[in-house]
Homo-oligomer: A and B are copies of this chain.
């Protein structure tokens, strides 16, 4: 198996309502598995066009991965059209049908007959379980040793189906020499072009390379080594070279998020954290608490937009707010210190700034943010500047604050 074609279906894709991130994710995962994506085809919920896509995909590739159109409604036609194209009957999978009914009953949802549609599959297909949704996918061996796999179009469901079932199957069907060694570094504190400059001196052989990916506020660098005799040794050597060059900027590897890395660190140290947020409005608390098990180290968060709430909940002095303003080193420090004491936490992180679009001044323009960190015996505050719209500034602030906290904890 060497060449893949991805088909994304859905009227929302061809009418421009939704960006198709599914095909990008699948292409990325296939690339990493050593499978080349020849083309991506996006079509609406139309039988005729889906038939066209299936014809072209079968011509171009030996693995076809499609998404979307597995649901219960009238415009969900993918299963039926795939069956038609490959000349298979649709047959009911009793186990899936029972599972669906059970799911509806246990949740008290009304069972409507159209839901049974999701239990029909092309004859001979194997089910691809969908742990997060009602519509399972399927995998079908078709002519000339080709395979077609169809997954839910809901990104979260698709990702889990791909990881749990599809990628292991793909890995079992590609040749050893094709297999790719890869590793992704998660980076903070460098722009893409600066990162490009720093790693430029590394020399690569054929089949080796770096790929950058900037998805604000994340930046990642992926190393791939494909083929070659001493593949593994070469891979380790290149990893070492990269780490030498950019170590201070790497916060994690693989799929790790910054909040997961930070959670691990707090757990290791046995420290508890409290968060005082102004301009980020709960975004940092939300990131920290998204991590399962965060209740062991997260004490509490205070979203204190107004001056009064900073005084009341964080014991910030009114005189400090009057003299230095809400966006200042002094206020950031008092916010962190006040909450740390009140929450009886080991550490408190505070953020106060101007997320915009209004509220900026010539001295403190939109994007000005003070971040404070308080320990029992010592506190510090740091000034940051961010650019872009409100959401961009909130995102950038949360990333920078969490990373500074990470670096501070590492030094202790």
A residues sitting closer than 8 Å to B (CB atoms) are 11-21, 23-31, 36-45, 49, 52-53, 56, 60, 71-75, 107, 109-110, 112, 114-115, 132, 154, 156, 191-194, 196-197, 211-216, 222, 275, 277, 280-286, 288-290, 292-295, 298-306, 308-309, 312-313, 342-344, 356-359, 385, 387-392, 394
Contacts and interface: CB of A to CB of B under 8 A. Distances in A.
16 contacts: A14-B36, A14-B37, A14-B38, A16-B27, A56-B56, A107-B385, A156-B216, A280-B289, A282-B283, A282-B288, A285-B285, A285-B303, A290-B390, A300-B302, A300-B313, A301-B302
Contacts of A388: 132
A38 B24 CA distance: 20
A23 B358 CA distance: 33
Central interface residue in A40, A214, A390, by most chain B CB within 10 Å: A40
Number of copies: 2
Nearest to A8: B40
A281 B286 contact: yes
A292 B342 contact: no
The 8 closest A-B pairs by CB, nearest first: A16-B28, A281-B289, A282-B285, A301-B303, A16-B27, A282-B282, A40-B42, A300-B309
Given A13-B24, A14-B36, 19 more contacts: A12-B211, A14-B31, A14-B38, A15-B31, A17-B222, A20-B40, A37-B44, A73-B192, A75-B211, A114-B193, A156-B216, A286-B286, A286-B394, A289-B394, A290-B394, A300-B302, A300-B303, A300-B313, A303-B303
A28 B15 contact: yes
A330 B293 CA distance: 25
